[in-house]
């Protein structure tokens, strides 16, 4: 696609990685906005853009405005800035498109299903993008732009995006919390999570290459009542974890039998 | 260490991988037992051993007997076979050492903290082994043998092993079940888990390289009540999953704040 002039509203992890990817594809990042000037400065410097820390400084005649900021502020920015018919998209999994109803006629969602860290390189080509546009021309524009960055792009409406986000909470946020619980349990006995890291890695690899339900293992899967009971006894001083153990085991028993 | 004559009692995934690793280290696998002759045959053939399907055929004068069978049968084999003072170990995370109290004077646990599949190569050097011996000479023997196979070996008593196993259930069995729930939620809407696989992979990588609690993300972590409420509404037709969502979110709120 033809090179675009792009304004990044936000200078966090998502803005960093998408900004870099757009830059590498030949688009020009002209401005980087952050309410924290130092953050705008460092990303702008990397991308050859101007750093700004006031929404009023946003240039009105660019081709694409990417809003990659905390969910809580998307409404606020959407209400404060007026870009007429320019292409404007936010990157959030859980904020509906209509949060941008005032900012422009041509709005959309540009939601990368990935977790980003500035310190970690990432292959943008493999990141799934969920795209939504307010009308046909914006949908076509955002789809084309996403396909410029990634091989895995699909049109997803706000209702479906919310369901995907819910599934991601189960698969990723909640799984990570279970890792954190395992670490807490081990450290209580002077042991390290390092003992489990090879098993965690292998378990996820198996789930990535199979239907997870098919590769389920453990005491609940094999209906080992004795082991489950003894585990609950071990958790008798942690009622919250005992309840979680019991509910997760029941859920496995129900799904697997 | 000097080459041993080893009998494998069991021909499943664990016997397959540990048997292969022992063979590669120059030990002789002399017999492979399985109650299903075909399974004994195929592993025995690979290792240059004799296949047997009756416990009575087990040779009494070998150096090491590894019991790698389903948890439910360990007691049974331990009671049925008599090997006097030979070195005998089982490979289970949840069965106590005293399940082997009748089979020999020199018993132990040889517990690899890993999930094995016959079809998948695995670097045994990196598998953590938890070792327990009934007395000093058996502990020394099993520790030395485990160190022959792996760089990550530690002595762990039955009580501690049970706690490690509990932590593994949280980190691995339960995480996998959350992946399975995510798949179920997506498929209900005609979507594929493939959408989430890159995110699942990256989330686990982050947890492997950090303390998982430090890299926690998601609505509960940022106390986003609105998103959590809307997710629970989406689960209103699945009371079991709604309850799980609520309990896991509460657990994150508690740990992270």
pLDDT tens column, A165-191 = 999 999 999 999 999 999 999 999 999
Burial label for A141, CB within 10 Å (0-12, 13-18, 19+), is buried
Choose the mutation target among B14, B69, B167 for the interface with A, i.e. most A CBs under 10 Å. Answer: B167
CB-based burial, A243-256: b 16+ in 10 Å, e otherwise: ebbbbbbebbeebb
Share of chain A above pLDDT 90, in %: 90
Render pLDDT for A93-139 as a digit per residue (tens, 0 to 9): 889 999 999 999 999 999 999 988 888 888 999 999 999 999 999 99
Count CB neighbours of A233 within 10 A. 10
Q: Does B158 touch chain A (CB under 8 A)?
A: no
Render pLDDT for B98-140 as a digit per residue (tens, 0 to 9): 999 999 999 999 999 998 888 888 899 999 999 999 999 999 9
DSSP B121-175: ---GGGS-EEEEESSHHHHHHHHHHHHHH-S-EEE--HHHHHHHHHHHIIIIIIH
A106-112 and A129-133 strand pairing: antiparallel
Yes or no, beta carbons of B230 and A122 under 8 Å apart: no
User: Mean pLDDT across the stretch A203-211?
Assistant: 96
Residue B198: name the closest of A204, A223, A103, A21 by CA.
A204
> A119: helix, coil or strand?
coil
Of A173, A200, A241, the CB nearest to B217: A173
CA distance A29 to B196: 29
Q: Does residue B182 surpass a pLDDT of 90?
A: yes
CA distance A88 to A58: 13
> A62: helix, coil or strand?
coil
Render pLDDT for B19-49 as a digit per residue (tens, 0 to 9): 999 999 999 999 999 999 999 999 999 999 9
Render pLDDT for B49-107 as a digit per residue (tens, 0 to 9): 999 999 999 999 999 999 999 988 999 999 999 999 999 999 998 899 999 999 999 99
The predicted structure's pLDDT at residue B94: 85
Summary count for chain B: helices (H), strands (E) = 9, 8
> A70: helix, coil or strand?
coil
CB-based burial, A18-29: b 16+ in 10 Å, e otherwise: bbbbbbeeebeb
CA distance B63 to B184: 49
Q: Does B166 touch chain A (CB under 8 A)?
A: yes
Provide φ and ψ at B66, rounded to 5°: -105, 120
B203 to chain A: which residues are within 8 Å by CB? 115, 171-172, 175-176
Judge whether B121 and B138 are in contact, CB under 8 Å: no
The contacts of residue B126 (CB under 8 Å, 6+ apart) are A198, B150, B151, B152
Yes or no, beta carbons of B175 and A234 under 8 Å apart: no
CA distance B143 to B218: 42
Yes or no, beta carbons of A171 and B224 under 8 Å apart: no
Q: In whole angstroms, how far apart are CA A254 and each of B108, B181, B235?
A: 35, 12, 17
Q: Does B175 touch chain A (CB under 8 A)?
A: yes
| Rg over CA atoms, chain A | 22
Q: Does B190 touch chain A (CB under 8 A)?
A: no
Report the complex ipTM.
0.90
Q: Does residue B208 surpass a pLDDT of 90?
A: yes
> A224: helix, coil or strand?
coil
CA distance B189 to B207: 29
Q: Does B127 touch chain A (CB under 8 A)?
A: yes
Share of chain B above pLDDT 70, in %: 100
Token pair for B256: 């992270």
> B81: helix, coil or strand?
coil
CA distance B168 to B166: 5
The predicted structure's pLDDT at residue A169: 97
Residue A195: name the closest of B113, B15, B43 by CA.
B113
Token pair for B114: 């890993």
Nearest CA in chain B to A166: B231
Q: How many CB pairs under 8 A join A and B?
A: 298
Average pLDDT for chain A: 96
Residue B141: name the closest of B66, B47, B78 by CA.
B66
């Amino acid at each position: 696609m033809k090179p675009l002039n792009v304004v990044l509203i936000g200078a966090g992890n998502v803005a960093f990685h998408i900004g870099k990817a757009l830059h590498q594809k030949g688009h020009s990042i002209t401005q980087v906005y952050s309410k924290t000037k130092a953050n705008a400065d460092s990303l702008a410097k990397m991308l050859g853009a101007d750093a700004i820390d006031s929404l009023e400084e946003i240039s009105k005649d660019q081709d694409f405005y990417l809003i990659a900021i905390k969910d809580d502020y998307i409404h606020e920015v959407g209400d404060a800035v007026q870009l007429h018919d320019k292409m404007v998209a936010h990157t959030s999994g859980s904020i509906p498109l209509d949060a941008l109803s005032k900012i422009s006629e041509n709005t959309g969602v540009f939601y990368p299903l990935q977790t980003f860290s500035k310190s970690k390189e990432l292959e943008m080509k493999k990141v799934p993008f969920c795209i939504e546009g307010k009308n046909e021309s914006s949908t076509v524009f955002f789809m084309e732009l996403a396909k410029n960055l990634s091989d895995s792009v699909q049109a997803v409406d706000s209702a479906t995006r919310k369901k995907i986000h819910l599934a991601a909470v189960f698969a990723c946020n909640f799984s990570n919390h279970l890792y954190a619980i395992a670490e807490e349990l081990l450290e209580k006995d002077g042991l390290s999570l390092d003992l489990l890291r090879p098993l965690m890695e292998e378990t996820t690899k198996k789930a990535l290459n199979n239907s997870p339900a098919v590769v389920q293992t453990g005491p609940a899967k094999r209906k080992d009542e004795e082991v489950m009971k003894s585990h609950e006894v071990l958790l008798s001083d942690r009622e919250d974890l005992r309840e979680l153990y019991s509910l997760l085991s029941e859920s496995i028993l129900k799904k697997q039998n």
